Amino acid sequence: MKQLSSAFSYIFSDNEWFNKVLVGGFYFLLIPFGIGILMLNGYLEEFFTRIRNGEKGMPYWRFAKAILLKGLKRSYFALLVLVTFYVVVIGSNLVITIPVAILLLALFLTINCIQITRSFDLLSIVFSILLLIVAISIGWMWIIVGWPLLIFLAMLVQTHMFIQSKAA
């Protein structure tokens, strides 16, 4: 539980946290087109590096080219999963229920986070998957901007938790 509170404290201690999370939420909406996962992974990689180096505050989005380049290096797996998912769903006319879609998205984001942080901690996995499921499930009740914002915030918390478990 300490990891969870530490993650939220780190994020909210940044004076510009809302703007940074808002931009991340926008890129979250672009995941189905590929560019979103590249930008998010680049940002999470930079976030990971800043925490590992003991720096305070989250990275800025204004360095989009550097974030994109980092994202290209870290997104092979995520892009492969997206393409495979599209081929399976479109090729088989598969219908996915909302609960299954929520679980698939939470698992995809968690596996993606493990791949970025190179950390595997069962407690962090359980807490972060539950956090993502809650964010994905209740996020739709917010305005259109609020839903991806909440999910991206959960992604940041998840990444911070994995980084803390790796450092321990």
> Distance between CA atoms of 69 and 65, rounded to whole angstroms?
6
55: region left, alpha or beta (phi > 0 left; psi from -120 to 50 alpha)? beta
pTM of the model: 0.86
Q: What is the pLDDT of residue 35?
A: 92
pLDDT in tens, the chain (168 residues): 688 888 889 999 999 999 999 999 999 989 888 899 999 999 999 999 999 899 989 999 999 999 999 999 889 888 898 888 888 888 888 788 888 888 888 888 888 888 888 887 788 788 888 888 888 777 655 555 567 888 888 889 888 888 877 766
> Distance between CA atoms of 76 and 93, rounded to whole angstroms?
25
Q: Where are the domains of the chain?
A: 2-167
